[in-house]
Structure 1
Amino acid sequence: MQGPWWVTILLPSLLLSAVVPADGLWWLVPWALQLNMTYTARPTNISAPFSSPRLINKPGGARGGSNAIRWSTGEARRYCGAVPWPVRRQKIMCEKFPRATTKVREGANLGIQECQHQFKHRLWNCSTADISVLQRLLSIRSRETAFLHAIVSAGVAYGVARACSTGELQECSCSKAKTKPPPGAESAGGEWEWGGCSHNIRFGDNLSKEFMDANEVAADDTGLMNLHNNEAGRKSIKANMKVTCKCHGVSGSCATMVCWESMPSFRQVGDIIMGKYHGATYVKINKKGSRLRPRNKRHKRPTAHDVVYLDDSPDYCEVDVAKGSYGTRGRKCNRTSAGVDGCQLLCCNRDFVSREETTEESCNCKFKWCCEVTCKKCKKKELVHYCK
């Protein structure tokens, strides 16, 4: 008989933690990735049977929307009790906000998927094929670990904030209206007001801190680095919120301007954090052990928006499981590219092998009224290159 999901998914993580120093991601990543294997919108069939949820029959307001699901105390305890939380406060938060905790999990998974997109053509490609290898990478305080902290922390905040505005959570709803006018509203003339449904990044940010930061200790350099990068990830959303306004009035006039705040797409957030990865600051802890400072005195002190790292990255060209590297042998490369996806760089100056492969794709598509598109299946031969 198969046991609870965390026995098969997280038990290896618990055993590995005896040899790999744990940080705020070592338990969260396997928990999030389990969504890719057996995801359901509600945690039925995960650890214990749940009764049908009770819908909240009220419009969106300060405490949840019409789509929100209310969990009973017993349901919340069974769900939260199935997760081996590293910090007791996290379990308490889960029981207090059980539905929001499922969005924490989805948000972490969103961050991992974005990591894999950003690094898909690089020596390290954010692979999660073997969780233990990824967890060993986290023990090295490199640029890649820094990026993972930032993108997963941002993903958690993003996922929760988005769920608030769509009415999926009883714990929150749209962001409260601001008192200051939106940019350009006063100069445009007429009246203005905050309306629509602004993304509740404040609630998402707070919940991200509770689950991402709780297992970090600010008394050592590793904890300071992880906390700094977690916050840098969240700030990548907050600093790039955009205001959208819509005019209301007779005959297209702008008698009243209604404005709301929305988050950038998560792809944009990933691009922003990737830029911070490229400009990351190599740091060390100061003599007092209270803050991080650049190793090179000529470099400026990193801001709260910047990504920082403490260790050099391992050599990702060769297999080194102890350092979280799969190597690049067998990776597909682009023979004609001079970029990071090119065979010369991706294969680390090793040779590559080429072979003809046949793929099937849609072709000769036609539109039929109404409303159907029919396509034929065509076979295509192409020359594909793999690193030796």
Structure 2
Amino acid sequence: MVRKQNFPLQRTREQAYVYAMSAAALSWSIARACAAGALAACSCAAPPRAPPRPPRQAVPPEPQARFKWGGCGDNFQWAERFAKQFLDTHEIDVRDGRIEDEIIDFETTTEKPTTTAEPTTAPPVVILVDDQPAPANTSMAPRRKGKRGKKRLPRSPRRGRPTRKRFRSRYDYEDDEKEYQYRNIEYRMAADDPRFDPQVDLHTRLHHLRTLIASANLVNNRFGRRVVSQGMRTKCTCHGVSGSCSVRTCWRALTALSRAGAALAREAGRAAALPPRAPRPRPLRRARSRLRYVTPSPDYCEPDPAAGSLGTHGRKCNASLGQGAGGCARLCCGRGRRALRAARLERCRCRYHWCCRVDCQLCRVTTEEHYCN
């Protein structure tokens, strides 16, 4: 499961819901797979120590003796540990500063760079990347032997000063379709060249926000797993002569994943901003956990190409739903709607004649569709 980050400097409430839902779906699927025997690393959940609770209508004085744990329960404990290790390890390292998060080098144009360029008044901007060949006007110093991890950097083509970059050996991610590269290199361009200010500003913003983003991801992942764990229910089956149900065998099972998704969707509307981390005394009472976001959500009512939102102008809506999902009162953002009536011919009053013919009449049906202004 891979979650690509098209906007690395943003963590909206919608992205908080996606992270929480991903963690919930991962833990739920693994817990069910363990109970079904689909995974060799885990099996059924261990029965709880406490005896199962009998139903309220139980009359015998010792109802605990008639109920016992059995069956194959969903192994949520093992699934939670696996999901936490799979999703939270990288976020914890980024939050604690042990590693540096990947930096995305956005391309200004979709065209591939060419080696030849027409002479212009201003010199072209040169971005030195680890896998690009050095320009013709730079000289590559010989590499020292015997020192592992040390690389000689090319000289700056402007004043002969070395470009300040720090290489960090970690992972390399390549994506040819997007025309950008994930590189674990910290770009620090020469301070005497003001043309690299946008790159420096991008890195500075990411440097200040990455710890806060990682903390929000950890909170949302934990919240998603917690919602799934709250859906554990006790299921029982009866055993006895003639359906007397003298003995009940019970086990713990998870509810449907759609319930967890609906609960997370409700919590997304109540998500709160994650405050910056500051040294302060720990409160005596833990605050109510909820989904956390870093940046506010854009206005989805109006077109916003930067955020990838097309707006709701001209969207088809359902006037009978009101404030519900897809309703005109909610989707049109208070701009009103227009109704279009259309008439079409449909087959109706069909009758079957033996044998073997179906005769139908043509009826004119008028429909009304609503579109947002």
TM interval, shorter chain, is: 0.5 to 0.7
Q: Which structure 2 residues correspond to residues 101-120 of structure 1 after superposition, within 5 A?
A: none
Give me the whole-angstrom Cα distance separating, in 1, the residues matched to 2:28 and 2:266.
19
| CA separation of 1:343 and 1:227: change in aligned 2, threshold 3 A | same
Give me the whole-angstrom Cα distance separating, in 2, the residues matched to 1:176 and 1:162.
14
Query: Which of 13, 17, 27 is matched with 1:157 structurally?
Result: 27
Is the CA contact (8 Å cut-off) linking 2:54 and 2:67 kept in structure 1?
Answer: no
Give me the whole-angstrom Cα distance separating, in 1, the residues matched to 2:215 and 2:13.
15
Residue 201 (str. 1) matches residue 76 (str. 2):
yes
Is the CA contact (8 Å cut-off) linking 1:140 and 1:323 kept in structure 2?
Answer: no
Residue 224 (str. 1) matches residue 224 (str. 2):
no
Give me the whole-angstrom Cα distance separating, in 2, the residues matched to 1:222 and 1:290.
22
Partner of 1:34: none
Residue 188 (str. 1) matches residue 173 (str. 2):
no
Among all aligned residue pairs of Structure 1 and Structure 2, give the percentage whose two residues are the same amino acid.
33
Residue 352 (str. 1) matches residue 337 (str. 2):
yes
Partner of 1:213: 88
- Cα deviation for residue 318 of structure 1 reads 1.5
Q: Which structure 2 residues correspond to residues 1-388 of structure 1 after superposition, within 5 A?
A: 28-29=2-3, 135-136=6-7, 139-184=9-54, 188-216=63-91, 217-219=94-96, 220-288=211-279, 302-304=287-289, 306-340=290-324, 341-356=326-341, 382-388=367-373
Give me the whole-angstrom Cα distance separating, in 2, the residues matched to 1:361 and 1:264.
43
Q: How does the TM-score come out when normalised to structure 1?
A: 0.53
**Aligned residue type for 2:319:** R
| CA separation of 1:250 and 1:364: change in aligned 2, threshold 3 A | farther
Give me the whole-angstrom Cα distance separating, in 2, the residues matched to 1:303 and 1:234.
16
Give me the whole-angstrom Cα distance separating, in 2, the residues matched to 1:160 and 1:174.
11
Secondary structure (helix, strand or coil) at the match of 1:135 reads coil
**Aligned residue type for 1:28:** V
Larger RCO of the pair (alpha carbons < 8 Å, separation 6+): 2
Partner of 1:91: none
Give me the whole-angstrom Cα distance separating, in 1, the residues matched to 2:344 and 2:232.
42
Give me the whole-angstrom Cα distance separating, in 2, the residues matched to 1:225 and 1:338.
33
Give me the whole-angstrom Cα distance separating, in 1, the residues matched to 2:260 and 2:278.
34
**Aligned residue type for 1:385:** H
**Aligned residue type for 2:256:** S
Number of aligned residue pairs: 242
Greater fraction of residues in helix: 1
| CA separation of 1:330 and 1:159: change in aligned 2, threshold 3 A | farther
Give me the whole-angstrom Cα distance separating, in 1, the residues matched to 2:347 and 2:81.
46
Per-residue CA distance 1:257-293 (angstroms, 9 max, x = gap): 21011111111111211222233233302313999x9
| CA separation of 1:155 and 1:255: change in aligned 2, threshold 3 A | same
- Cα deviation for residue 231 of structure 1 reads 0.7
Secondary structure (helix, strand or coil) at the match of 2:252 reads strand
Unaligned residue ranges in structure 2 (runs of 5+): 56-60, 97-210, 352-359
Partner of 1:96: none
Q: How does the TM-score come out when normalised to structure 2?
A: 0.55
Secondary structure (helix, strand or coil) at the match of 2:369 reads strand
Per-residue CA distance 1:186-215 (angstroms, 9 max, x = gap): 962434322112112122222222332233
| CA separation of 1:224 and 1:29: change in aligned 2, threshold 3 A | closer
Greater shift, 257-266 or 163-172, is seen at 163-172
- Cα deviation for residue 353 of structure 1 reads 4.1
Unaligned residue ranges in structure 1 (runs of 5+): 1-26, 31-133, 294-299, 367-375
| CA separation of 1:192 and 1:312: change in aligned 2, threshold 3 A | same
Secondary structure (helix, strand or coil) at the match of 2:218 reads helix
